Structure 1
Amino acid sequence: MKGFGEKKKIKNKQPSKKFARIPPDQLKAIAFKYHQQGNINEAQKAYEEFINSGLSDPDVFSNFALICQSQGEIDKAINIYKKSVKLFPGHAFSYANLGYLFFQIGMLDDAEVAIRQAIVIQPNLANAYSYLGLVLREKGRLTDAEDITRKAIELQPDLADAYVNLGQILQNQGKLDEAEHTTRKAIELQDDSASIYLNLGGILQDQGDLTDAEANTRKAMHLQADLPDVNLNLSIILKDLGRIEEAVFHVTREIELYPQKQSSYLLLNSLLEESDLSFLPERKSRVLLRGLLKRNDIAHKNLFSAINLLISEQTLDNISGIHQDLFDDPSFQQILADDEIISALGLMLFTTIAWEKALTNIRKIICISSQNNVFNKRIINLTIALAEQCFLNEYIFTCTKQELDAIEKFKLSCLRSDFDLKTLSILACYIPITHLCEQFPSLRGFIDANEKLNNLKIMQLVEPECEHELAASIPKYGSIDDGTSIQVKKQYEEHPYPRWRYASYSRENIQTISSAINNEINPNRLSINLPKKRSRVLIAGCGTGQQIFDALSYANSELTAIDLSSSSIAYAKRKAHEYGIEHIRFIEMDILDLPKLNEEFDLIECTGVLHHMKDPSEGLQSLLKILAADGMLKLGFYSELARQDIVEARKIIKSESFEASNEGIRLFRDKLINGEYPNISSISNWPDFYTTSMCRDLCFHIMEHRYSLEMIASLLDQFELRFLGFVLPSIVKKDYGRAYPSDSMQTDLGYWQQYEQANPNTFRQMYQFWTNQR
């Protein structure tokens, strides 16, 4: 059992003398009375007096352990339970409660053993069956979990917890109507439980009934304002409703209440894809950004829109126009003093022309005037952050002759092994440290007390060398014979795409494949029949691994990732190791060779890949040969309409013979930035414009097919595939829903084609959607 009444904080843990002369049986009864009344403080004192008197009673041990457990004293609670089962091996409740505690701390095998022992001792103990159902659910054994939990209800039809647990199990199985009915039964039995309303809200959200989901979640909040997850879940629902500002408010409230909860930061980060925080006072915005910037478990790129608001474009323009005396300029001093900007430079790409011009000029003046200026700690740290930014964008900033001359002078000092913090920081803004070490081997031994410089060495030296070693260990399958595949492989070996620092990843952020897909194709809903075994997931074209981290959230699955490029896979594998993930199978191979694996996959993701093949249909056919009959397939293709400026850019690149080299890419960009191609100036709005590898992929790719939605529909018909829904921001789906209310599931490609014609940037990234076989 979980205890008596609501858990309350203990304000005073001092032992009390008022129980000292009370007979044991009476003291035990008093303790139970206090516990049942919710007076945890007095109950604890009575239990402690009972135990400290040398008395033993299994119910006292078990209930006192429950209090310790509720106060976070986990080790103490476990020891008390263990003492109880040792002294009273026939006490089923102690075993059941010990098992439930093991479940709460993730010790699932120990939990199952303890709870099953409780059932052996007392076969009619309904609570034990309910607990066992939770454990089996967590282990992914959903059918067994359902059967066991139904047994609990059979034994005790008024056990609300069992109905709650069964509702969660049914929700995980995709049996949403049953889950709703079961959870509403729990509310009939216990209508004052905030957590049950919270669960019902989650089920209704999965059903797509966002209005009722919001209402029930707010009911939970009304009953218990500080209930864990209530603000978080409400924020998710509001995000799906397109009410982003409200969603930010509630996830921020969750963070204030539970600052250690990672999932709240992940949600806030995802909300910043759709909001720049401009509706908040700058002070509040900075507090949120500061909390996100210090984390290494989120993808910081989502923060740039909010970061960009911290400095005005006028300030950036002022910096771009400075030719000397940079260090005394008020605009430069503003950036120098901005801790959020300095932190962000090493974590995300700065993707506006105004920022590129300002940072390019700062780098230039720091480089050519370094001999005439004293570098204080702030300027050193800015230079190191700028070196991180330059490494992330693959040194795409233009470089003047003055800078090249200054760099040669720095190199001469390095030949004399005359290294110092300033020299290395400046050089790393132009040349990665791994290349500098090839020229100056003694640089490897350079040590400085500046922690930021040591982190820079990890980024620019240790990590690239690790990737080089990993590339040699990646297994290869088949042979890459297709001419287009060979050329595409060459591109991604030279420029692994894209570079990134951190991923939005949590070991706790696990959801069933059914829930994950339904969340993406919302408002459409599917009942997905998952295999009883572990689901086999394939990422076909994993690149540098960002997509892998999204797929790691699939519950009860095993993951295979393939790519043409060993350099890209090595990057992905290093990132996986960085997060302690060792169970991914990486293979270097062509999609065309997939049938030779003689394997079948329950879910395949292949986005942004097929449109770079000579014949995308051939690639799709290869995928379908290894997709299970009831499997799910996620695809992504370029939109012809959304990429008109890219089409024009490719024509210019071809007509002016720009090479797909670092210098050729830089030259093309410089001309565009300087206004020589006004008809394609919108390309600078693409985030991919701001790194070498991404710009190459965007404008210089050796092979690119683009589609209309009519062509997508034809392709799906050709292979007898069903369109299940687009992966799009909630605000876009909300707008589409207003425009085409008759398409309630948002799966009519004809309507979507009309919508895209009216909103040509809708699929700016690509058409990304789920499908399965008819």
Structure 2
Amino acid sequence: MPLPDKNQIEAKAHLLPILRAAMRALEAEDYVQAENLLDSILQQDADFADALHLKGYAALRRGDLAKARQLVERAIEIDFHFENYHLTLGHIRLAEGDRQGARDSFGAAIVLNAALPDPYIGLAHIFMADGALDAAIGALGTARQKHPKHPEVNYLLGFVLMAQGKAKDAMIFFGRALQSAPNDTRYRLGFARSLHGLRLKKPDPALLATTLPLLGTPGVEPRDLASIIESAIQLDPTFTILAPIDAMPAANVAKVLAAPQCPDPASSDAFAEWLAHGLVMHPAIARRLMALRRGLLHLAVHDPAVLDRYSRLLGLIAIRNFQAEYIDQSRADERALLQQLDTRLAEADPASAAPLFAVYATYHPLYRRPDHARLAAAAWPAAFADLHRIQLLEPLQEKTIAAAMPALTPVDDATSRSVQDMYEESPFPRWHQPILNSPLTVPVRLRSALPLQTIPAGSITNPQVLIAGCGTGLHAILAASSYYDARVLAIDLSRASLAYGKRKADELGITNVEFAQADILKIGSIDRRFDVIESFGVLHHLRDPAAGLAQLVTLLKPDGYMMLGLYSEVGRRDVVAARELIARHGYSDNPEDVRRFRNDLPRLAPDLAARLARSSAFHTLSDLRDLVFHRQEHRYTPQQLRSLISGAGLEFLGFEFSTPKPLAQYQARFPDDPTATDLDNWALVEAENPDLFANCYRFWVRRRA
């Protein structure tokens, strides 16, 4: 936010250092410090327009919209001709839901300084909220003519083009934004999403050099990069030259690996980075990994000296298989070799036998070995430091955390205990890097999620947030960074899942989340009330979802909001078909049967297998178990959602989508429903777009007064 021309404040030059300090505090999101500094200026000069404006901006960021408007309008009265004042007023009006007023303010800013990109960005946000995507592109195009390298302009152009289904065009603009600001999480995420499904037909080193650094960075989903990276791997000569080993028995694979001219697969950057941070989805790459694993196992038993050449490969396969929870089946000859290796490892020292332990870790996790304490305490070679951390230190730390996890309610419902047992064995989901958002106030967060609703400004400060069914903590950590000055309580049935979340929160320095064990069916007994409750993908696993929702409603303050995620009957049609196959053929939900079902599915139902394999959930054991083997599942239609919501005394506010496209299409089809809350209409939309809610219905409700 630039300072005015020095000539305008010559008489106030002694206040300039304080003003600059306040601006630095605002940039650091330290609004209390900023307002204290600005108050010290206004005590000396009550009509210092820049101080009034900046204090109004701080109030906007804190969510005090009434105060923000008062301060910024006063600044405009004093100095109408400074475009930034109008720009801030436009954002205040937009946050208040006054789109026409915001449009007027952004227009005034353009009149005062047509070269400024920010008011065009503001107009684009209004057009996107209105579903007018072409108009948004027009506003952003005007800004880009003046500022072709402006990262936010390029990012928003990519965002709108993605909403129009133009991923290749979006990729260009996301790439430009990322080039200008390579550390911006949103730009990385946008670029990654634009690559979803893109396969290389020939090597493209430049695109791969931009893509690989995205792996392992906050918010980037490996599934978005799977097609491009896995196609790059299959084009790599290091990969293609080893194709014959896929069908070989262990002894023959070992001979190939022992040959001096055999290339190290880990020398391929794409292959190595994908094993370290990605999610193997292509069957050809999965077959190669299984072949390499059995060959390395044979070497471990019969010629272990060769393994020294493959230290990096061993560590990477062991880490990948651990993260996928050993989803790949092993053969009978491998199991016999593994028994021999296990015997050899009983007294072995990791300092000298780390490659042998790494081979074992490609089949079973080290922390579940009887001698895990000895292995955790040992000194491991640097080449296997990540394996030591991931397979020993972190899981054992989680066991300690789980043992000390507080319990808010008993877990004695039979269905709850069954579900709890499932997640104790398979904590879900395993995740690595979250998106840490810039915090928003509750009304601003709601307006972002529900652009067609009028959300009152309210006066919620220090919001109390409940994440009901937090799993392994990703949702809770996201909420902790999404709500300004919030305190978050995250509950779940599974201590193992909670421990994973607590460890990750501690690693990330997230201090405003409290984790505790509780059953939603009993949670109404706690003596706490919440401004916001979020429960995504949880209630449909309860014995009685309506009873669980009733418990949550008792904890919601009268002016509180709730976000729910529930399975769609239409969206889960492939899952229903898979569950019918599982029941018909008698598969249980133990890990070995989950692997066996996955292996058998292409033979039992090839088309269904192909569709399910496109989901990332098909490629890790806990995800697949959660997807098709869950012990308790309810599904809904839009009309059934209405009954559930009204029965709980709640008001439906609308569905939340990650792009503006679904709401824009709805508005075009049903212009007489400006808030997009008619669930009968949504039933028609879903019937025509059966994958619209394939993940879940994600929607917001409000407690009726």
Name the TM tier (shorter chain). 0.7 to 0.9
Letter in 1 for 2:374: P
Task: Quote the Cα distance in structure 1 between the aligned partners of 2:551 and 2:262.
Answer: 55
Distance in 2 (CA, whole Å) between partners of 1:151 and 1:677 is 68
Match of 2:367 in 1: 434
Q: Post-superposition shift, 1:715?
A: 2.6
- Provide the residue aligned with 1:765 in structure 2: 695
Matching residue's letter, 2:470: C
User: Amino acid of the residue matched to residue 168 of structure 2?
Assistant: E
SS of 2:489's equivalent?
strand
Match of 1:733 among 652, 659, 662: 662
Judged with a 3 Å threshold, the aligned counterparts in structure 2 of structure 1 residues 59 and 424 are, in CA distance, closer, same or farther, namely farther
Residue number in structure 1 paired with 2:472: 544
Distance of 1:163 and 1:731 partners within structure 2? 26
Q: 1:152/1:384 Cα in 2 relative to 1: closer, same or farther (>3 Å)?
A: same
Q: After superposition, what is the alpha-carbon deviation per residue over 1:157-202, rounded to whole angstroms, capped at 9, x for unaligned? A: 3332222222223333444333332222222333332233333333
1:386 to 302, 309, 317: 317
3-state SS of 2:490 partner: strand
Instruction: Tell me the equivalent position of 2:483.
Output: 554
Distance 1:335 1:529 in 2: 57
Structure 1: distance between partners of 2:467 and 2:259: 50
380-389 vs 715-724, which deviates more? 715-724
1:602-617 aligned within 5 A: 602-617=531-546
Alpha-carbon shift at residue 256 of structure 1 (Å): 1.3
Could you list the per-position Cα deviations for residues 255-297 of structure 1 after superposition, in whole angstroms to 9, with x for gaps in the alignment?
A: 212223333213323444x553669973343122222025356
Aligned length: 690
- Is the alpha carbon distance of 1:492 and 1:285 closer, same or farther for their aligned partners in structure 2, counting shifts above 3 Å? same
> For residue 407 of structure 1, what is the aligned residue in structure 2?
338
Q: Which amino acid aligns with 1:415?
A: A
Which of 302, 307, 311 aligns to 2:224? It is 302
2: distance between equivalents of 1:582 and 1:763? 33
Counterparts of residues 125-140 of structure 1 (less than 5 Å):
125-140=48-63
Equivalent-residue separation in structure 1 for 2:544 and 2:697 (angstroms): 18
Find the aligned partners of 1:318 and 1:594 in 2 and give their Cα distance.
57
Find the partner of 2:210 among 288, 299, 303: 288
* Corresponding letter in the other structure for 1:381: R
Q: 1:355 to 1:770 in 2, by over 3 A?
A: farther
Please state whether the residue corresponding to 2:382 is helix, strand or coil: coil
Could you say which residue in structure 1 is the equivalent of 2:594? 665
Partner of 2:280: 350
Following the alignment from structure 1 to structure 2, what is the Cα–Cα distance between the partners of residues 665 and 289? 32
| TM-fit CA distance, 1:553 | 1.9
Larger CA deviation: 594-603 vs 477-486: 594-603
Give me the whole-angstrom Cα distance separating, in 1, the residues matched to 2:175 and 2:537.
34
> Does structure 2 retain, via aligned residues, the 8 Å contact 1:180–1:204?
no
**Partner secondary structure for residue 482 of structure 2:** coil
Which residue identity does 2:699 align to in structure 1?
A: F
Q: How far apart are the structure 1 equivalents of 2:194 and 2:477?
A: 18
Corresponding position of 2:385: 454
Deviation for aligned residue 1:623: 1.9
Equivalent runs, 1:325-364 vs 2, <5 Å = 325=253, 326-327=256-257, 333=263, 335-364=265-294
1:687 corresponds in structure 2 to 616
Q: CA deviation at 1:759?
A: 4.1
TM-fit CA distance, 1:429 = 0.5
> Would you say the 8 A contact 1:604–1:634 is kept in 2?
yes
Q: Which amino acid aligns with 2:68?
A: A
Q: Is the 8 A contact 2:546 2:648 kept in 1?
A: no
Q: Percent identity?
A: 28
1:257-272 aligned at under 5 Å gives the runs 257-272=180-195
- The structure-2 alpha-carbon separation of the partners of 1:377 and 1:727, relative to structure 1 and needing over 3 Å to count, comes to farther
From 640, 660, 666, the equivalent of 1:711 is 640
Within the candidate set 416, 419, 428, 1:488 is matched to: 419
Contact 1:610/1:619 (<8 A) preserved: yes
The answer to whether structure 1 residue 149 and structure 2 residue 72 are counterparts is yes
| 1:173–1:438 CA distance, 2 compared to 1 (3 A) | farther
Q: Which has the higher contact order (CA 8 A, sep 6+)?
A: 2
Give the partner amino acid of 2:596.
L
Alignment partner of 2:491: what SS? Answer: strand
Which region of structure 1 is more displaced relative to structure 2, 149-158 or 510-519?
510-519
What residue in structure 1 maps to residue 562 of structure 2?
A: 633
Cα deviation for residue 493 of structure 1 reads 1.3
2:246 corresponds to which letter in structure 1?
A: S
Identify unmatched segments of 5+ residues in structure 1: 6-31, 37-57, 63-90
Deviation for aligned residue 1:253: 0.4
Of 640-649 and 418-427, the range deviating more from structure 2? 640-649
The corresponding residue for 1:95 is 18
Give the C-alpha shift of residue 539 in structure 1.
1.3
After superposition, residues 24-103 of structure 1 pair within 5 angstroms as 91-103=14-26
Is the contact made by 2:99 and 2:126 (CA closer than 8 Å) also made in structure 1? yes
Q: Please give the alpha-carbon distance, in whole angstroms, between the structure 2 residues aligned to 1:329 and 1:770.
A: 61
The answer to whether the aligner puts 1:468 opposite 2:399 as a matched pair is yes
Task: Give CA-to-partner distance per residue, 1:434-461, whole Å, 9 cap, x none.
Answer: 12362672563132131xx101211111
Aligned residue in 2 for 1:239: 162
CA pair 733-3 structure 1, distance change in 2 beyond 3 A: closer
Mean alpha-carbon deviation: is it higher for 657-666 or for 248-257? 657-666
Cα RMSD of the aligned pairs, angstroms, is 3.4
> 1:197 is matched with which residue?
120
Is the contact made by 1:417 and 1:443 (CA closer than 8 Å) also made in structure 2? no
Q: 1:748 to 1:242 in 2, by over 3 A?
A: farther
1:74 is matched with none
Q: Which amino acid aligns with 1:480?
A: V
2: CA distance, partners of 1:108 / 1:729: 29
Shift of 1:570: 0.9
Equivalent residues of 1:514, 1:526 under 8 A apart: no
Q: 1:643 to 1:432 in 2, by over 3 A?
A: same
Larger CA Rg, structure 1 vs 2: 1
Give the gaps of 5 or more residues in structure 2. Answer: none
